[in-house]
Amino acid sequence: MLPPDFNLIPPLLDWLWRSWTSLGISGHGGTTRADRVIDPEALVLASTLWARYDARLFDEMLDWLCLNGSLVNLQRLSNLHRTGLGDADVLSAIAAIVQKSSQHTKWKVLAGKSGSTQDLAPLFLSLDGNSGSWGDAEPGFAAHGFHRGKLELRQMSQIPDPGLAPNLWLKLRSLFGTSTRAEIMLQLLTTGPATAGEIARRSGFSARSILVALREMAQSGHILEPPRQVRERPRRGQAPAVRTRGSSLPYSLRTEEWSFLRTWSEPVGFPALRSPGPLLLLCQKVLQCLDEEKPGAPSVTRSLRLREATADALADVHRQGFSSDYGLPAQLAGGNFASTLATRLQAAIASL
């Protein structure tokens, strides 16, 4: 059982429901933020961890992936997963089910190999720590080490509503394909001018592939490429001029030319791109640390262990520029680190 002050699962489940409902699962979740783009890959990876606390949410997510799995960027999903976010075994089981139950054969690359069906772990969890299993084990999940009852996909999911601002990422993928071009358009519309290297780091594609696409798109006249520096041959005795690499040139677009994409009343312009990945990884580190904690451990010991376990994740939140958004600076002061972190994390999750 989690300590009362670290009751992070309910707000995380609330965020998962709101996000998935916006994307088209069958449910009655609350309204997600209109001024933020939903990150589909971070959402899938977070679901491998915390949708297990809500069997209905987990199965509705599976149902949605079987319908819309082609809109998920598996390259970006894999890159984000390599940061540590998500459960590898659950992701492998999900990929196997999606690949088997739909036409999205590309998911096979994430399915991995089937393992032993002995000593299966329960797929679904409970907050009180008394997780259990019921019914005959579903073969697809049993092959990946998990016990759950019969899987019945209701096929009630919808395609993401293109009229909702938070669905902009998938709207652009539907328009341009799950490709470099959709990622380029998303970032230029939501974050402004960016270099090929910046777009590559955020999207998971290589800088070279982004740069090639940018230069091709610039030929249309709708993507603006800054003039390249004219290289002059240095005179004798002079140092050669500093060369500007193509991938470091910022590209941009005229937002008004793409106003037809704004099919929503809120926000006024385009929603902001703030990937929740760093915050979700921080939550994952915290919950893993608490799960390994010995019962009855002193609060001082908990604070010390948490500070050590979350140092890198907190620093990453800071490096990504989200410290002010979430109220989580790279260094949290105070002797009672655990309670301070718990309070700020719950507020940060609520802001997603």
CATH code of residue 222 = 1.10.10.10
In a domain, 341, yes or no: yes
In a domain, 76, yes or no: yes
pLDDT band at 238 (very low <50, low <70, confident <90, very high): confident
Nearest to 72 by CA among 207, 80, 29: 80
Angle between helices 196-203 and 207-218 (to 10 degrees): 120
> What's the rounded Cα separation, in Å, for the pair 117 and 195?
48
Ramachandran class of 321: left when φ > 0, alpha when ψ lies in -120 to 50, beta otherwise? left
Asked if residue 197 and residue 136 are part of one domain, the reply reads: no
In a domain, 169, yes or no: no
Ramachandran class of 135: left when φ > 0, alpha when ψ lies in -120 to 50, beta otherwise? left
Domain count, the chain: 3
147, 170, 203: which is the final residue of a domain?
A: 147
> What's the rounded Cα separation, in Å, for the pair 23 and 21?
5
Asked if residue 137 and residue 18 are part of one domain, the reply reads: yes
pLDDT band at 13 (very low <50, low <70, confident <90, very high): very high
Asked if residue 31 and residue 103 are part of one domain, the reply reads: yes
Asked if residue 256 and residue 285 are part of one domain, the reply reads: no
Q: Assign 3-class secondary structure to the chain.
A: CCCHHHCCHHHHHHHHHHHHHHHCCCCCCCCCCCCECCCHHHHHHHHHHHHHHCHHHHHHHHHHHHHHHHHCCHHHHHHHHCCCCCCHHHHHHHHHHHHHHCCCHHHHHHHCCCCCCCCCEECCCCCCCCCCCCCCCCHHHHCCCEECCCCCCCCCCCCCCCCCHHHHHHHHHHHHCCCHHHHHHHHHHHHCCECHHHHHHHHCCCHHHHHHHHHHHHCCCCEECCCCCCCCCCCCCCCCCCCCCHHHCCEEECHHHHHHHCCCCCCCCCCECCCCHHHHHHHHHHHHHHHCCCCCCCHHHHHHHHHHHHHHHHHHHHHCCCHHHHCCCCCCCCCCHHHHHHHHHHHHHHCC
Instruction: Tell whether the model's pLDDT for residue 246 goes beyond 60.
Output: no
pLDDT at 34: 94
147, 168, 199: which is the final residue of a domain?
A: 147
User: How do residues 260-282 score in pLDDT, each as one tens digit?
Assistant: 999 999 999 999 998 899 999 99
In a domain, 82, yes or no: yes
Asked if residue 208 and residue 294 are part of one domain, the reply reads: no
In a domain, 164, yes or no: no
In a domain, 238, yes or no: no
Q: Which two tokens stand for residue 347?
A: 């507020």
Asked if residue 281 and residue 209 are part of one domain, the reply reads: no
In a domain, 155, yes or no: no
Q: Which two tokens stand for residue 63?
A: 């149902």
User: How do residues 137-160 score in pLDDT, each as one tens digit?
Assistant: 899 999 999 999 999 998 999 999
User: What does the mean pLDDT of the chain come to?
Assistant: 88
> What's the rounded Cα separation, in Å, for the pair 78 and 76?
5
Nearest to 100 by CA among 114, 87, 89: 114
pLDDT band at 323 (very low <50, low <70, confident <90, very high): confident
Asked if residue 192 and residue 252 are part of one domain, the reply reads: yes
Asked if residue 81 and residue 20 are part of one domain, the reply reads: yes
Asked if residue 141 and residue 16 are part of one domain, the reply reads: yes
- Pairing type for strands 146-147 and 121-122 reads parallel
Asked if residue 209 and residue 106 are part of one domain, the reply reads: no
Q: Which two tokens stand for residue 279?
A: 């915050």
> What's the rounded Cα separation, in Å, for the pair 95 and 130?
27
Tell me the residue range of the domain where 55 lies.
Answer: 4-147
Asked if residue 186 and residue 108 are part of one domain, the reply reads: no
Between residues 19 and 31, which one has the greater pLDDT?
A: 19
> What's the rounded Cα separation, in Å, for the pair 154 and 171?
24
Q: Which two tokens stand for residue 261?
A: 């994409």
Pair 112, 144: CB distance under 8 Å: yes
Residues 207, 208, 213, 216: is their CA dihedral positive or negative? positive
Instruction: Tell whether the model's pLDDT for residue 128 goes beyond 90.
Output: no
Instruction: Tell whether the model's pLDDT for residue 313 goes beyond 80.
Output: yes
In a domain, 152, yes or no: no
Q: Which two tokens stand for residue 6?
A: 């670290």
Query: Is the bond into 298 cis (omega within 30 degrees of 0)?
Result: no
Nearest to 83 by CA among 281, 275, 276: 281
Asked if residue 306 and residue 206 are part of one domain, the reply reads: no
Q: Which two tokens stand for residue 29?
A: 């979740």
User: How do residues 167-188 score in pLDDT, each as one tens digit?
Assistant: 999 999 999 999 899 999 999 9
